[in-house]
Structure 1
Amino acid sequence: MPPYPPAEIRVLAVDDDPGLLDIIRIFLESTGNIVVSRDMCARDALYTLETEYFDVCISDFDMPGMNGVQFIRKIREDGYDLPCILMTGNRRKEVHDAALGAGAWCVIQKGGKGPAFFSELAEAVKEAAERGPTSGYPGVRTSDGGRDVRLTVKGGADVS
């Protein structure tokens, strides 16, 4: 009997740039066992979180209406404990610190890195998903209290 295929990783990607969302979806899905849903604003994404299950959320920082830090903070306030990855082209340390303080799992620096950005994003998604299937929704906690926020800044350690 063949082994069971690995479980798919369900990702919610949020960015106001539809072209970037398409590229993220195509790239992540091409790496295997990742399925990406997309929303173009944080408000729509909050509704999507209420109606669908996700293992990981990816959000841009600079979006109209609600920026990525505010979005992650709202996700945490609503009780969701899924890992959130913030993407930003902003190199200010304050943005990185605010994202981590709001509960981001990691921050990935966009811009100027081409394919390396997408590879780094795919690696972060897979690492974040390894947190386990029981940490995604309100009321579901892991044995460690449900909180495993890693204070890492991927690609952004050189910010000042």
Structure 2
Amino acid sequence: MKVLIVDDDPSFLEISKTFLEVFHNIPSDTVGSAKEALNMLEKDSYDVIVSDYDMPVMNGIMFLKTIRNKKINTPFILFTGVGEELMHQAIQSGANSFMLKTSDPKTQYLELSKQIWKVTTKSTNIGPNF
């Protein structure tokens, strides 16, 4: 299993990588923008993409639409601090799951790890896993 985490906050990337790898045994690569993520996806394959929404130049929904237009069907989790009003838009754009960031890292990453395993073990990987 290998996860690509996309977020413009370097400290969030570091914390995410640490929690997923150390506490949940989920290896991950991190990048600070959707553009960097697109470059990574050209070179490597991932089992799951976890992306923030609120990023400069290309937000998480635009990133998701871009990879789906490129026929990249890697399971996608929109992991954001922006409200639940984005959930419908994420589903319509092809997200497999949607999660809100919380102030409790231990609980947040436990739930994220569960979502990662859920979207990777789903046999068809079609449709959302909310």
- Same topology, TM > 0.5: yes
Shift, 1:91, TM fit: 1.4
Shift, 1:129, TM fit: 1.5
Residue pair 1:100, 1:151 contacting (<8 A) in 2 also: no
State the 4+ residue runs in structure 1 displaced beyond 6 angstroms: none
Q: Distance in 1 between matches of 2:73 and 2:120?
A: 12
Which structure 1 segments of 5+ residues have no match? 1-8, 133-143, 153-160
Counterpart check, 1:110 vs 2:81: no
Change (3 A) 1:35 1:151: closer
Say which of 6, 27, 44 aligns to 1:14: 6
Counterpart check, 1:125 vs 2:103: no
Amino acid at match of 2:30: R
Higher helix share: 2
TM-superposition CA deviations, 1:77-98 (whole Å, max 9, x none): 00011100001111142x1111
Q: Which has the larger Rg?
A: 1
Counterpart check, 1:39 vs 2:31: yes
In the alignment, which residue of structure 1 is the partner of 2:83?
91
Q: Distance in 2 between matches of 1:111 and 1:67?
A: 19
Normalising by structure 2, report the TM-score: 0.92
SS at match of 1:79: coil
In the alignment, which residue of structure 2 is the partner of 1:149?
127
Give the length in aligned residue pairs: 129
In the alignment, which residue of structure 2 is the partner of 1:56?
48
Which structure 2 segments of 5+ residues have no match? none
Amino acid at match of 1:19: S
Aligned-pair identity (%): 33
Residue pair 1:42, 1:67 contacting (<8 A) in 2 also: yes
Q: CA RMSD in A?
A: 1.4
TM-superposition CA deviations, 1:56-105 (whole Å, max 9, x none): 00000000000001101111000011100001111142x11111111111
